Structure 1
Amino acid sequence: MKKLTKKELFFEKTLKLISEKGFKATTMRDIAHELNFEVANVYNYIDSKESLLENYIFGTLDEFIIYLENIVESSYSPVEKLKFVISKHAQYAINKPYEVALFVYEWRNLKGDKLQEFKEKRSNYMYTVRQIIEEGISEGQLREMDGEFATFMFFSSMRWLFSMITNDDIKVNPIEIEKQLTDFIFKGIENK
């Protein structure tokens, strides 16, 4: 296992702490205490809790958007495209659980223009997935259903994964989790 740099360790422990306590409840003093730092040393790594939140949330969202754009531009069928989306979400959650937890649960703590920007980008992302689902319905690959409802259920099915991954008591095999999640979603939407 690779030894983490001080910076990587700082962010890993900080994100885990925020995941456990919540963004609002976590103070700079808590972060410093967790890392055996003086509070002033925390500012060597981040400007503020808010900038940390913004950087991780938008970094995560932008990575998902770029990946989805590549999926949409591919020649794959709607079902295959959806499987790629599931795979990306599952692998990201497994490899970066605390970043994803921050993204899923703490976005409401964004302020002003950043909150609005996030909502718009997230809405566009979900709408693009909805278009894939509706294309699958119209081509007969997915069963006949309301596209908006199917999209909501699609994302709801994946959301629980983030809380499970951050639970230290649960050990997951990334391949098995991805397969089980894909099977679960497609048993509900695939036209067979």
Structure 2
Amino acid sequence: MKIITKKEKFFEETLKLISERGFKATTMRDIAERMNFEVANIYNYIESKDALLENYLFDMLIEFTSYLDNIVTSSYSPVEKLKLVISRHVQYTAIKPYEISLFVNEWRNLNGPKLKEFEEMRMSYMQKVEKLIMEGIENGELRHMNTEFTTFMIFSSMRWLFNMVINEKEKINPIEMEKQLMDFIFKGIERK
């Protein structure tokens, strides 16, 4: 059994609270109450609520982008690459649903240049996935379709998986969740 440190517990509970109430509605006082300590103690863990958001969002996006770049440069076929991308999203969601909740719901709360930077990185990520779809169409693995629409539909299908993990009364098998999502997506886009 893994022992959870105070710092790990702080971040876990903070992410849960933000997921429950939303980023804007969660105050430093709310976090302190959840942790049963004074507001001043929060600053031992984070510089600010905005810094917490920024760090989580950029760390996740950088991690996903790095993984995607390795997939894109691999020798796998476009469909195999796309399946690896989807698998990564599902597995990450199963392990870190509150981080994904933050990623899905709260990125618009970034401030100024950080919001623009995040949007550009996010769009670049989606364009790389769209390129995989284009390559799959070109080599005959995928049927002819609007690639931008297909890209958005794939991401939309994955976007809310964290809700199943967070809200599920029974433990969800991430392998089964991945299989069902793959079947759903690829039965619609694979060439028959």
* TM-score category (smaller protein): over 0.9
Q: How does 1:18-167 map to 2 (within 5 A)?
A: 18-167=18-167
Structure 2 residue runs without a partner (length 5+) = none
Kindly indicate whether the alpha-carbon contact (under 8 Å) linking 1:130 and 1:147 is maintained by their aligned counterparts in 2: yes
Kindly indicate whether the alpha-carbon contact (under 8 Å) linking 1:93 and 1:100 is maintained by their aligned counterparts in 2: yes
For 1:166, what is the secondary structure of its paired residue? helix
* RMSD (Å), alpha carbons: 0.9
Deviation at 1:171, TM superposition (A): 2.6
Q: TM-score, normalised by structure 2?
A: 0.98
Kindly indicate whether the alpha-carbon contact (under 8 Å) linking 1:164 and 1:170 is maintained by their aligned counterparts in 2: no
Structure 1 residue runs without a partner (length 5+) = none
1:107-139 CA deviation, whole Å, 9 max, x = no partner?
000010000000000000000000000100111
For 2:191, what is the secondary structure of its paired residue? coil
Kindly indicate whether the alpha-carbon contact (under 8 Å) linking 1:54 and 1:110 is maintained by their aligned counterparts in 2: yes
Q: Which amino acid aligns with 2:181?
A: L
1:126-182 CA deviation, whole Å, 9 max, x = no partner?
000000001001111001101111111111111121222221435310111111111
Q: Distance in 2 between matches of 1:183 and 1:157?
A: 12
What is aligned with 2:14? Answer: 14
Q: Size of the alignment, in residue pairs?
A: 192
Q: Distance in 1 between matches of 2:162 and 2:133?
A: 22
What is aligned with 1:3? Answer: 3
Q: TM-score, normalised by structure 1?
A: 0.98
Point out 4+ residue stretches in structure 1 off by more than 4 angstroms.
Answer: none
Q: Which amino acid aligns with 1:73?
A: T
For 1:136, what is the secondary structure of its paired residue? helix
